[in-house]
Chain A
């Protein structure tokens, strides 16, 4: 899907994505010529269709996890279906291999007790994957500690609602 700014005859480019948390998607596109902005508002079915493709409009914020589309999409998965081995994502091995100081880009973030408690409320079918996603999110943004507030921000940025 592309959007054309008719006065400029220019293709509008992606500028911003918002996930209100109600299953819908809002994406802002702007004309590089005149700066005019427009928002594409997708209903839940349209949003689900895009999500089912395993892609995110505006790009992925963190590396994709193994079977992520399946695990995110399935309802009622078996709680003990997966055992996560505690190691950083291979999707970003060059990042994970770095022995960076806390808070530096690439450093493994720590978890606050409140964040750990909240993570325990995530269904175990996806908990290990979600944990990796939060860690990758913080690692790439040089966030040293994962707190509930950071989790809220990541959920909004990455579209993790419901997990």
Chain B
């Protein structure tokens, strides 16, 4: 691979979380029985007309503002004409020459910790198509138009990414952003968030872009990474073998881990775009844009910066904790309820909690361990009721039983021993039972200190406060 540079641009399709479709009043909910959510407009019946959903416009503007883009004062819906059975009108209403959002950017964090700005050429509104079903109906295909007319925003990046990892980092960043903005549920299994990747390679130092292939419909971060890496190797192989990369559309086959040609440029459709005469140009004034700006939440980068300054967290922690709004909110709730040690809270959220959630394939919003429960545990660590080590045991019990930290500590008798008299009594007993070790220690065998700590801990069931134990033990042993 050396001597080659990879160039990647992504076209991300995010389904907007409106209740109704972009040009009709049908519901957009996922999973209804086929065609239950397709009305006459969605079915493209003779005489019907589209009416633009204002909520979809508001969501696109939100996105535009969040990526510091220009919101077009006038954008135009156009028809993209092609025949396909799941495209009811024979054209898709999209935006072509004048999109609603242009010239934005996002910053991604690279593996070495550095950052990189990824340009976003444009984002435009369009309607989704339905889907064809080729199984279950003998000799025929079925058409489900529930998805037809679902609002999408297509976010087109500049060819600014130079590796599959950068592409994934960018896609994750957009994914985080649209969920923060509450304009897309980000559900990749259901196809709410997917992308096409434009991939090309060129000799290092070469200025001109190589011929690109477009890999269609990638619906997981892992697939994006694998498909791009496969495609890059394939193109390099072709070029090193003296061949030429063909401009074409390719499909990624996740089972085989390879991309396959779908159609070449010569076979590509001529979409015959022209402004849709059924829809007036979309005109947005500054007052509208400002009213949308007023609804913007704190964005991921702003939140991460605040976490660093407000909670004294390292940049890495701030990045992880702000990756989703739910996680960030959870963290802040924990800190609010257990304010003694924000870093301790970060460690627990990113460590024990994340691991436990991950293991059961849950997310933080699942409610399995509410923030107040975790805060209750952290409070007991901070007030030294339990040690950090015992806390992990408590956490596991809280996770499996749903009990609070206090009730686990009480019922299992895990409360840390902080009564100096009790600790001293335990020390005395251990010393009495181990006269030989005591003599050796006093003769200068300092290493035996650890032995006594262990013995006392064993005697107290691990509950002795470690700091107190150390102090009292040292005093007693030295006689």
A and B together in one complex: no
Q: Which residues in B have some Cβ–Cβ distance to A below 8 Å?
A: none
